[in-house]
């Protein structure tokens, strides 16, 4: 059994990665019901929370059915991060995750996200201060290093553990790689195989098939898989992986009717959460390409979905899709 602090998980938990503009409550709920063991919020700016920025505050919404859920925050200023912990605690997450891995320029340029990989001492100092500032478990998501020449993830992970970090998720790329090339899981396995490590070590990056998840578990010996892009428009991925683990076989392909039903529910939940129809409609658009991926001659229907400004308009397209493809 894998544990984050006192949170008991299955033997090889599947974690929904924190993804900006993707991992909101409706999407997390759908992934949870399809087998995700742990879910994370979108990453939230510490400076945005302190300024009470509406977008940052809205990201604190969590629901009982999502648990265990971690709220992920990023920042590089110690005082701001400690104030953020106090704000986040009020939402009562199961744990708080620190993003030390986001490679996006606007985050990195402020020394946050993967930018902190250039200052490991600060990374450790921030983690330690946050651990001391809350009774909630503190976890970390990071990358292998800033670039290929500065990879010291085994030492970094050990130092984070020593100051009280309760779990670490590692993306198998450096910041310099962004999302290019293949994720390298070998250094993550080196972290796990360090005899001094006793906290869970989760792997992230390129887990896009059930076979890859099994490889992460059996060949690399990691404690769990964090799944990001493979789940977008495909909340079923978690169920597919678990079925493969159990039987060695793939679940049947998702039918058109199932895809339409999931997309319909996603839109309904998004509107309900946002409270404004047009906002819910627009927030769900990015998922349609993925929900209906691989269907030949689908372009005109996708175009209608992403240009409709009303829920009814999108539902009508769903009905057309059922009529033509199901």
| Angle at the Cα of 269 from the Cα atoms of 34 and 292, rounded to 5 degrees | 60
Alpha-carbon Rg for the chain, nearest whole angstrom, is 20
How far, in Å, CA of 236 to CA of 290, rounded?
12
Exposed, middle or buried, 104 (CB in 10 Å: 0-12/13-18/19+)? middle
DSSP string over 135-157: SS-EEEEEES-SSGGG--HHHHH
Contacts of 77-80 spanning 24+ positions with Cβ under 8 A: 77/46, 77/47, 78/125, 78/126, 78/129, 80/46, 80/47, 80/50
Phi, psi of 99 (to 5 degrees): -85, 105
31 is catalytic: no
The one catalytic residue in 9, 38, 62, 102 is 102
Q: Which residues contact 17 (CB under 8 A, 6 or more apart)?
A: 23, 40, 141, 169, 204, 226, 227, 228, 231
User: Which residue, 109, 110, 50, is CA-closest to 75?
Assistant: 110
Identify any residues that bridge with 44 across adjacent strands, giving them in sequence order: 73
Cis peptide before 321 (omega within 30 of 0): no
Collapsed DSSP state (helix, strand, coil) of residue 78: helix
Helices (H), the chain: 25-33, 46-50, 54-58, 78-89, 105-108, 120-133, 153-162, 186-193, 210-218, 237-247, 256-274, 277-291, 299-307, 311-325
Active site residues: 102
């Amino acid at each position: 059994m894998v544990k984050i602090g006192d949170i008991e998980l299955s033997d090889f938990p599947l974690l929904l990665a924190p993804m900006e503009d993707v991992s909101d409550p409706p999407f997390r709920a759908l992934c949870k019901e399809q087998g995700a063991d742990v879910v994370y919020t979108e990453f939230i700016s510490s400076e945005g929370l302190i300024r009470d920025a509406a977008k940052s505050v809205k990201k604190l919404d969590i629901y009982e059915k999502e648990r265990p859920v971690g709220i992920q925050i990023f920042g590089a200023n110690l005082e701001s991060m400690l104030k953020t912990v106090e704000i986040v605690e009020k939402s009562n997450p199961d744990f708080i995750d620190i993003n030390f891995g986001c490679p996006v320029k606007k985050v990195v340029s402020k020394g946050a996200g993967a930018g902190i990989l250039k200052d490991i001492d600060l990374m450790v100092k921030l983690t330690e201060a946050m651990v001391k500032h809350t009774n909630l478990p503190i976890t970390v998501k990071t990358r292998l290093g800033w670039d290929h020449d500065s990879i010291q993830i085994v030492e970094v992970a050990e130092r984070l553990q020593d100051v009280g970090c309760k779990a670490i998720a590692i993306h198998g790329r450096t910041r310099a790689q962004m999302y290019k090339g293949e994720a390298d899981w070998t250094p993550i396995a080196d972290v796990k195989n360090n005899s001094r490590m006793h906290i869970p070590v989760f792997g992230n990056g390129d887990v896009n098939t059930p076979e890859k998840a099994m490889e992460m578990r059996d060949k690399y010996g990691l404690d769990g898989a964090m799944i990001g892009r493979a789940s977008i428009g495909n909340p079923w991925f978690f169920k597919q992986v678990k079925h493969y683990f159990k039987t060695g076989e793939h679940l049947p392909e998702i039918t058109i009717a199932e895809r339409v039903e999931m997309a319909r529910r996603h839109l309904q939940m998004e509107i309900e959460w946002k409270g404004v129809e047009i906002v819910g409609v627009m927030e769900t658009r990015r998922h349609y390409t993925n929900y209906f991926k691989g269907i030949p001659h689908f372009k005109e229907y996708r175009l209608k979905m992403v240009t409709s400004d009303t829920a009814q308009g999108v539902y009508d397209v769903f009905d057309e899709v059922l009529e033509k493809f199901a």
